[in-house]
């Protein structure tokens, strides 16, 4: 296991890695401008050394043909699920795919239809929020409400939508993106009972499941719930946690054999093979990087808390998230367009309008201390200069 000492931690996350020269999408958007990009959900941090070493060793072998998942990789995923989430999944339940987006698109094609309704949380990140449009399927959006200063699902609206006879599929996002709320055990149990009662299939995007920042909060996978075992597709990946999204690899966990076979068949018409190097990186990440993972969470927690301190008492309402490296900023008190105002002050954030919430911004704080401190200086100037309604 890769061991990290406090001194190593300070060095490891103090500097952001330069990414523009490597054509990173995040940095190319504002190339040539004095703008810090804090929009797309990947990290400006180096991946853990064991992942880099595993990739280097595999590249040195010199062949890159089609590759399928192997037994030790399958076992690595199941051991990680047991270790991190207490879920005793079987290796046969795994379906490998290039990304979770391809996964929920396949689920939509398989279980949605033009005459049925698909329930989706909102706000939500654009690919998931708009998944029904690709196939011309019916959609019911369920909003979030503030409850005890935490963003939660509107249960009245959710129960009404799930009980509708035309509802066949629910797309869950847990932890929620962009708010960072984690579905608690009592909530997921309640949801499972509703879906079981009304015969609704669940596709759960849990790509941020391993970025839980609150030590008192536990992630509860959808497929681990007894009432959802036979009616769920749980989508996960090492990509967000270990900053390997560009390698393109994820996995679906589908306990029901019939549903798994149908999902595989649909997926085969929707996407190609998983990147051979991505499989290598995933195994290394899930077997040799537990200490790095714990250190990353500590770093993200510190920057989340610093962000909350910077924004406390200002015109921007921020409720520190329980999970993810994303901050959901409420700028609705401003008399100017929040995205454009931040951009004018050198910060490139995600516009809340794309998530279904005009007046909000999503800020990605997963970067080195150096870049984060510079961003906080710019954020302070932007917030203090924003005219109010």
Task: Enter the CATH code of domain 64-287.
Answer: 3.40.640.10
* pLDDT tens-digit map of 165-200: 999 999 999 999 999 999 999 999 999 999 999 999
Name the CA radius of gyration of the chain, rounded: 21
CA angle at residue 319 from 36 to 144, to 5 degrees? 105
The reply to whether 6-50+290-385 and 64-287 are identical in fold is no
Count of beta carbons in the 10 Å neighbourhood of residue 60: 7
The domain spans of the chain are: 6-50+290-385, 64-287
* pLDDT tens-digit map of 233-278: 999 999 999 999 999 999 999 999 999 999 999 999 988 899 999 9
Chain centroid, CA 367 distance in Å: 16
75-263-182-227 Cα dihedral, nearest 10 degrees: -90
**Position 6 confidence tier, pLDDT thresholds 50, 70, 90:** low
* pLDDT tens-digit map of 298-349: 999 999 999 999 999 999 999 999 999 999 999 999 999 999 999 999 999 9
Contact 254, 204 (CB under 8 A): no
**Position 9 confidence tier, pLDDT thresholds 50, 70, 90:** low
DSSP secondary-structure letter at 123?
Answer: S
Q: Is the pLDDT of residue 218 over 60?
A: yes
Ramachandran category for residue 198: left, alpha or beta (phi over 0 → left; psi -120 to 50 → alpha): alpha
Contact 321, 176 (CB under 8 A): no
Quote the pLDDT of residue 8.
66
* pLDDT tens-digit map of 90-132: 999 999 999 999 999 999 999 999 999 999 999 999 999 999 9
Pure H helices in 210-324: 239-242, 257-268, 276-288, 290-311
Q: Which residues is 152 bridged to in the sheet?
A: 145
pTM: 0.96
Long-range Cβ pairs for the range 149-153 (8 Å, 24+) = 149/319, 150/181, 150/319, 150/322, 151/176, 151/179, 151/180, 151/181, 151/319, 151/328, 152/181, 152/187, 153/121, 153/187
Task: Enter the CATH code of domain 6-50+290-385.
Answer: 3.90.1150.10
């Amino acid at each position: 296991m890769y061991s990290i000492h406090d001194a190593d931690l300070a060095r490891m996350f103090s500097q952001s890695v330069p990414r523009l020269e490597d054509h990173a999408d995040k940095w190319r958007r504002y190339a040539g401008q004095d703008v810090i990009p804090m929009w797309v959900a990947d990290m400006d941090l180096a991946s853990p050394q064991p992942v880099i070493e595993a990739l280097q060793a595999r590249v040195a072998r010199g062949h890159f043909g089609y590759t399928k998942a192997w037994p030790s990789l399958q076992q690595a995923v199941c051991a990680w699920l047991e270790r991190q989430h207490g879920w005793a999944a079987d290796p046969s339940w795994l379906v490998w795919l290039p990304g979770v987006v391809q996964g929920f698109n396949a689920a939509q094609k398989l279980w949605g239809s033009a005459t049925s309704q698909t329930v989706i949380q909102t706000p939500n990140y654009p690919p998931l929020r708009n998944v029904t449009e690709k196939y011309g399927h019916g959609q019911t959006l369920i909003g979030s409400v503030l409850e005890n200063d935490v963003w939660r699902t509107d249960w009245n609206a959710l129960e009404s939508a799930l009980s509708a006879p035309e509802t066949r599929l629910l797309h869950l996002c847990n932890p929620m993106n962009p708010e960072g709320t984690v579905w608690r055990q009592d909530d997921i149990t309640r949801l499972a009972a509703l879906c079981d009662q009304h015969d609704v299939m669940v596709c759960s995007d849990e790509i941020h499941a391993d970025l839980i920042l609150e030590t008192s909060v536990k992630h509860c996978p959808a497929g681990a719930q007894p009432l959802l075992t036979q009616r769920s597709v749980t989508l996960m990946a090492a990509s967000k946690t270990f900053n390997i999204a560009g390698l393109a690899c994820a996995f679906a966990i589908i306990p029901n054999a019939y549903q798994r076979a149908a999902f595989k068949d649909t997926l085969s018409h929707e996407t190609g093979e998983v990147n051979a190097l991505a499989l290598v990186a995933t195994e290394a990440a899930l077997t040799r990087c537990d200490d790095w993972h714990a250190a990353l969470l500590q770093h993200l927690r510190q920057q989340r808390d610093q962000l909350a301190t910077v924004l406390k008492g200002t015109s921007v309402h921020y409720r520190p998230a329980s999970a993810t490296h994303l901050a959901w900023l409420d700028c609705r008190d401003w008399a100017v367009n929040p995205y454009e105002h931040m951009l004018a002050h050198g910060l490139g954030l995600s516009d809340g309008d794309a998530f279904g919430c005009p007046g909000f911004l999503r800020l990605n704080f997963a970067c080195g201390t150096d870049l984060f401190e510079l961003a906080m200086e710019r954020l302070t100037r932007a917030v203090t200069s924003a005219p109010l309604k």
